[in-house]
Amino acid sequence: MIDVKIHLKKPGVKTPKGTCYVVAKNGAFIKREEWWARAIVPAKRIVGLDEEQTSFQLLLPPFPALELAKAHKFFRQTYIRFGSEACVLFYHTVDGYKIHVPQQCVDAGGVECDTSEVLPGDVCGSIHSHVGGVKAYHSIVDQQDEEYWDGVHITLGVITTRQDFSLSVQAVVNGHRFPVDMDWTQGLVPVKNGRFVIDCPEIENWVIPEEWTERVHPFPNDANFISFKEIKKPPKPRKEGP
Ligand SMILES: [Zn+2]
């Protein structure tokens, strides 16, 4: 039985007098009021409560080979056009997974994409490419981008004109990362050096939609460039000064 009060820190609600635990936006604290001092410090343990363990179980259905192959074909096309990375989102509807290509600016070392569009299903995560000799992993920049983006994030590495690639799949929940079993992505056939190809004959006849291709732009060679959204904006009319 816990005999110390637990206070939820909310705007306009006073913390009670005496010793208590305070659960706030930035974690759990303990407030101590002693004869010699008053202090609020982070609480590593809350006496009287059971311990909890970090855990994760993926409930999404497996990711089909054809959708992975579509992303891979699109990444190879973008590599051939610009020598660059690219990114797609994937969402889930009653008809299964669908891939969405957001507006994006790309180069060999990164992608900036517009994730603000509302899609006709639940967005489950992202897939992006690493090109040339760069393997599939979740770089510091990737981890920063994905920190507040709950879902499954897939990286396809060593994308070139070749068919083989490396793969890394991680899930993110509230900034915590969890590895996802390789079996979740279907159709993977190991080749050599930790690389895979996709067993998916249907991809031969699948043509990359034109609107996917049109949504990929190389980063402008302009020091004043702020965001890819600027690309589509018409130039501001110049004011004629007196
Ligand atoms: Zn990356």
> Which option is the CATH number for 65-230: 3.40.140.10, 3.40.50.9100, 3.40.190.10, 3.90.1150.10?
3.40.140.10
What is the distance in A from the centroid of ligand 1 to the CA of 88?
Answer: 12
Q: What is residue 139's predicted lDDT score, i.e. its pLDDT? A: 79
Mind listing the pLDDT tens digit for each residue in 19-49? Answer: 899 999 999 999 998 888 999 999 988 888 8
Q: What is residue 219's predicted lDDT score, i.e. its pLDDT? A: 87
What is the distance in A from the centroid of ligand 1 to the CA of 73?
Answer: 18
**69-91 average pLDDT score:** 96
Tell me: pLDDT of 211 over 70: yes
Tell me: pLDDT of 229 over 90: no
Mind listing the pLDDT tens digit for each residue in 164-176? Answer: 999 999 999 988 9
Confidence of residue 149 (pLDDT cuts 50, 70, 90): confident
What is the distance in A from the centroid of ligand 1 to the CA of 134?
Answer: 9
What is the distance in A from the centroid of ligand 1 to the CA of 120?
Answer: 26
Domain ranges of the chain: 5-42, 65-230
pTM for this entry = 0.81
What is the distance in A from the centroid of ligand 1 to the CA of 168?
Answer: 10
- What b/e readout covers 133-163, taking b as 16+ CB neighbours within 10 angstroms? ebebebeeebeebbeeebbbbbbbbbbeeee
Mean pLDDT of the chain: 88
Tell me: pLDDT of 62 over 60: yes
Confidence of residue 2 (pLDDT cuts 50, 70, 90): low
- Half-sphere exposure (CA, 13 Å, Cβ side) for 178? 14
CB–CB of 161/80 below 8 Å? Answer: yes
What is the distance in A from the centroid of ligand 1 to the CA of 154?
Answer: 9
What is the distance in A from the centroid of ligand 1 to the CA of 153?
Answer: 10
For the CA atoms of 183, 186, 190, 195, the dihedral, rounded to the nearest 10 degrees, stands at: -100
What is the distance in A from the centroid of ligand 1 to the CA of 53?
Answer: 29
SS (H, E, C) the chain: CCCCEEEECCCCCCCCCCCEEEEECCEEEEEEECCCCEEEEECCCCCCCCCCCCCCCCCCCCECHHHHHHHHHHHHHHHHHHCCCCEEEEEEECCEEEEECCCEEEECCEEEECCCCCCCCEEEEEEEEEECCCCCCCCHHHHHHHCCCCEEEEEEEEECCCCCEEEEEEEEECCEEEECCHHHECCEEECCCCCEEECCHHHHHCCCCHHHHHCEEECCCCCCCCCCHHHHCCCCCCCCCC
What is the distance in A from the centroid of ligand 1 to the CA of 93?
Answer: 26
